[in-house]
Amino acid sequence: MRVLITGAAGFVGSHVADLLTEHGHETVQLDNLLPKAHGPQGTDRSVVVGDVRDAELVARLLRGVDVVCHQAAVVGHGLDPSDIPEYVLHNDYGTAVLLTEMYRAGVANLVLASSMVVYGEGRYRCPEHGPVRPPARTAGDLDRGRYEPPCPTCGGDLTPALVGEDAPIDPRSTYAATKAAQEHLASAWARQTGGAVWALRYHNVYGPRMPRDTPYAGVASLFRSSLHRGEPPTVLEDGHQLRDFVHVTDVALANVLAAGTPARQGALTPVNVCSGDPRTVLDLATELSRACAGPAPEVVGGARPGDVRHVVADPARARELLGFRAATPFAQGVAEFADAPLRAPVAG
């Protein structure tokens, strides 16, 4: 199988490229080495340095390709509304160019790197009203330390439940909106062309090669950077936010399985890529502090605009359709991450 990987020098993309190669597949690797992801040293990987928005280049790289693994994206929460054009140009316009050239080249199979951020808040139950969708948390509630979203009917406390792929899309940040738009574009493309798309909704990915010392990095990287400076990791809210932390090698495996498994033609099929073992953000900070022999986490309250409270993933569809099960236990993965190689500091 010949696979074009966009974003092949990045955190997830590099692991996908390595694992596809280990499985005997031929890879074509493309990356524009965006400074926010790669730092001043760039990469020593064998990649074509170029932009997925370059239609002529993409058309050339698609020759003889069987499937595309589209990892290229500007990632992160979206620090400021002025980031919107950059996110849209890279994530959505880039995807549009790629889809157009795939159609022209007759390449019908796409594995799209999507994200759990498309859900917004996860799934919740009210003891009295059953499954509900809570309203966005208000600044006033957050300032008062009320972090749990209330029931929209009675205002009572809710219990988080597993969020499946049938949950409504409700992005709460610039990055989330662009990932949702990628899914919509790929879904429309599949319907129009008869193509087949796996949308792999990554949950909180961590592991070797994460970028460090940048606000665009994931929380695990930020915690580790603090610990390596001898400082306690800073945990927002009360630390009880539930997430699913999944190791990057497991995410790479999900991509390899998806690349080799036909998706439904004429459709986009979303799949949670998760560990199935939800933990709190404070759990992550505490386990990492222990592994680094560093100071205990410091819970400071507050929240970033657009942050959600709980996203607890349902892993059932990935098992059923792809045969995917995450193999890296939480404690083992965090212990290994404590001294794993990370990317050099990047541009802010």
Question: Tokens 């033609």 identify what position?
Answer: 265
Nearest to 149 by CA among 309, 313, 302: 309
Are the C-beta atoms of residues 35 and 86 closer than 8 Å to each other? no
The CA–CA distances, whole Å, from 175 to 178, 228, 307 equal 5, 28, 12
Question: Tokens 């955190």 identify what position?
Answer: 11
pLDDT band for 305, please (50, 70, 90 cuts): confident
Residue 116 CB-half CA count within 13 A: 29
For the chain, first and last CA: distance in Å? 38
Are the C-beta atoms of residues 97 and 53 closer than 8 Å to each other? yes
pLDDT per residue as tens digits for the range 96-113? 999 999 999 999 999 999
Element (H, E) at 56: helix 55-61
pLDDT per residue as tens digits for the range 237-279? 999 999 999 999 999 999 999 999 999 999 999 999 999 999 9
Residue boundaries of the structural domains of the chain: 2-123+162-345, 124-161
Average pLDDT over residues 5-32: 97
Nearest to 261 by CA among 317, 318, 321: 321
2-123+162-345 CATH, one of 3.20.20.140, 3.40.640.10, 1.10.645.10, 3.40.50.720? 3.40.50.720
Residue 334 φ then ψ, to 5°: -70, -40
